[in-house]
């Protein structure tokens, strides 16, 4: 009997999602004779049994499309808000899977989606996770679809900011996505020739940034471009956030944990205007007018580039092969030019951060880019 599988996209949208859906679907339906259905709106669609069949016609023409044809959401399977209250929807999802006689549910998403997938797996639901994120912060995979396109977009932005910075003798700060991992800011900063790159993994000091800019001024260059990851903080803010986070981990009761989480969120909110504060501080320290550009969701949108179309296709088709062989409870990781299964337990809750001795870090230093540390 032919296998029946479901697929959904969760978390933030990213270029390459449709390529992965297509790769999975074309291989599953065309090569293995499976039946494929797509759940709308992420795991909420799975809980609400909201789906549509995906056949050759519905998979045609989506390779180059940005976003996701299935829609997405950031719901948590064990804390989904229903009628204004958080509810554990895992039993309901299990009923959906049984009712539709699904042999596997494939979840395309980032770190939060890996956690959702692990919870479903632990509940006995056959699942598989495909790694999607523009931050490239998922553990145990060489890459994630979405990153390559976002890197091109961010690099082009840094390229374009140089002309304005040069024309007006300004410092321009470009905020690039990356809460905890600085891969995108680091890659775009190097490829775009940023003069300073600030990462979450390397807490910065204003004096170090100012020194880099002053050295450029001494060489007759009265402008600079700073690429800053949205999660980058100076040493003082980093210490404050780490202390607040440690209180959450050491909380001895649910009440204490809730208070610690509220305090952590308050501190985070205080630092959300970090790029603008940094601009004021840099201007005061260097005498150069400083401005901020926040790239935001521009980095997520648009047509996926060739690399993300290829990666999504490879990982998607590999998932179909693994399902056919009876695998579940895994992430389909990028490995070199191919793919390999990794247990969800090894992935969920872990991040791939930029190592301080990574070749990209060494390259940045070698070409004279300031890292603020």
| Segment 189-241, tens digit of pLDDT | 999 999 999 999 999 999 999 999 999 999 999 999 999 999 999 999 888 88
Task: Say if residue 160's pLDDT is above 90.
Answer: yes
- Residue 328's nearest CA partner among 102, 144, 145 is 102
C-alpha span between 194 and 123 (Å, rounded):
47
| In a domain? residue 371 | no
Report the percent of the chain where pLDDT is more than 70.
Answer: 100
Q: Are residues 50 and 134 in the same domain?
A: yes
Name beta bridge partners: 51.
39
Task: Say if residue 43's pLDDT is above 80.
Answer: yes
| In a domain? residue 263 | yes
Catalytic residue among 13, 103, 135, 137: 135
Report the percent of the chain where pLDDT is more than 90.
Answer: 85
- State how beta strands 330-335 and 127-131 pair: parallel
C-alpha span between 51 and 134 (Å, rounded):
26
Q: Are residues 23 and 84 in the same domain?
A: yes
- Report phi then psi at 109, rounded to 5: 175, -170
pLDDT at 267: 84
Give the E-state strand segments of the chain in sequence order.
Answer: 4-9, 35-39, 51-54, 80-82, 85-87, 104-109, 127-131, 171-176, 196-198, 224-229, 290-294, 330-335, 338-343
pLDDT at 276: 94
Total residue count of the chain as it appears in this document = 373
Provide CB contacts within 8 A for 278, sequence distance 6+: 173, 206, 226, 228
Q: Which domain holds residue 252?
A: 152-300+355-366
| In a domain? residue 372 | no
| In a domain? residue 101 | yes
Whether 327 contacts 341, CB under 8 Å: yes
Q: Are residues 95 and 138 in the same domain?
A: yes
Provide CB contacts within 8 A for 194, sequence distance 6+: 158, 174, 188, 225, 226, 227, 369
Task: Say if residue 268's pLDDT is above 90.
Answer: no
Q: What is the CATH number of the domain that holds 198?
A: 3.40.50.460
C-alpha span between 279 and 111 (Å, rounded):
31
Task: Say if residue 1's pLDDT is above 80.
Answer: no
Catalytic-residue membership of 135: yes
C-alpha span between 126 and 319 (Å, rounded):
13
pLDDT at 301: 87
Q: Are residues 17 and 141 in the same domain?
A: yes
Q: Are residues 173 and 133 in the same domain?
A: no
pLDDT at 208: 96
C-alpha span between 131 and 118 (Å, rounded):
13
Contacts of the segment 166-170: beta carbons below 8 A, 24+ positions apart: 166/223, 168/223, 168/289, 169/222, 169/223, 169/288, 169/289, 170/223, 170/288, 170/289, 170/290, 170/291
Task: Say if residue 185's pLDDT is above 90.
Answer: yes
pLDDT tens string 163-173: 988 888 999 99
Q: Are residues 228 and 335 in the same domain?
A: no
Q: Are residues 161 and 235 in the same domain?
A: yes
- Residue 134's nearest CA partner among 272, 306, 13 is 13
Helix ranges (DSSP H) in 82-205: 90-99, 111-122, 147-168, 183-192
Task: Say if residue 252's pLDDT is above 90.
Answer: no
| In a domain? residue 205 | yes
5: helix, coil or strand?
Answer: strand
């Amino acid at each position: 009997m032919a296998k029946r599988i479901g697929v959904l996209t969760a978390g933030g949208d990213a270029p390459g999602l449709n390529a992965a859906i297509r790769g999975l679907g074309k291989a599953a339906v065309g090569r293995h004779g499976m039946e494929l259905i797509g759940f709308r709106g992420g795991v909420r669609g799975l809980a609400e049994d909201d789906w549509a069949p995906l056949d050759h016609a519905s998979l045609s023409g989506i390779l180059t499309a940005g976003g996701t044809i299935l829609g997405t959401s950031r719901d948590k399977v064990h804390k989904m808000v229903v009628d204004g209250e958080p509810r554990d929807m895992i039993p309901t999802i299990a009923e959906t899977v049984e009712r539709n006689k699904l042999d596997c549910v494939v979840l395309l998403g980032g770190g939060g989606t890996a956690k959702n997938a692990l919870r479903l797996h632990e509940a006995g639901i056959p699942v598989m996770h495909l790694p999607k994120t523009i931050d490239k912060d998922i553990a145990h995979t060489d890459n994630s679809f979405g990153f390559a396109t976002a890197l091109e977009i961010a690099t082009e932005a840094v390229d374009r900011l140089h002309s304005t910075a040069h024309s007006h003798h300004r410092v321009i700060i470009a905020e690039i996505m990356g809460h905890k991992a600085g891969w995108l800011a680091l890659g775009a900063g190097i490829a775009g020739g940023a003069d300073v790159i600030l990462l979450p993994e390397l807490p910065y000091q204003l004096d170090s940034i100012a020194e880099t800019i002053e050295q450029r001024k001494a060489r007759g260059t009265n402008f600079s471009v700073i690429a800053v990851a949205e999660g980058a903080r100076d040493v003082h803010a980093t210490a404050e956030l780490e202390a607040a986070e440690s209180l959450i981990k050491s909380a001895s009761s649910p009440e204490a944990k809730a208070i610690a989480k509220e305090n952590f969120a308050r501190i985070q909110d205080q630092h959300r205007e970090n790029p603008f504060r940094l601009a004021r501080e840099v201007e005061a320290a260097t005498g150069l007018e400083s401005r901020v550009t926040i790239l935001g969701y521009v980095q997520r949108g648009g047509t996926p580039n060739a690399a993300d179309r290829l990666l999504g296709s490879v990982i998607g088709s590999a998932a179909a092969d693994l399902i056919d062989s009876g695998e579940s409870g895994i992430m389909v990781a990028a490995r070199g030019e191919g793919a390999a299964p990794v247990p969800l337990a090894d992935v969920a809750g872990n991040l791939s951060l930029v190592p301080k001795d990574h070749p990209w870090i060494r390259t940045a230093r070698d070409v004279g880019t300031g890292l603020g540390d």
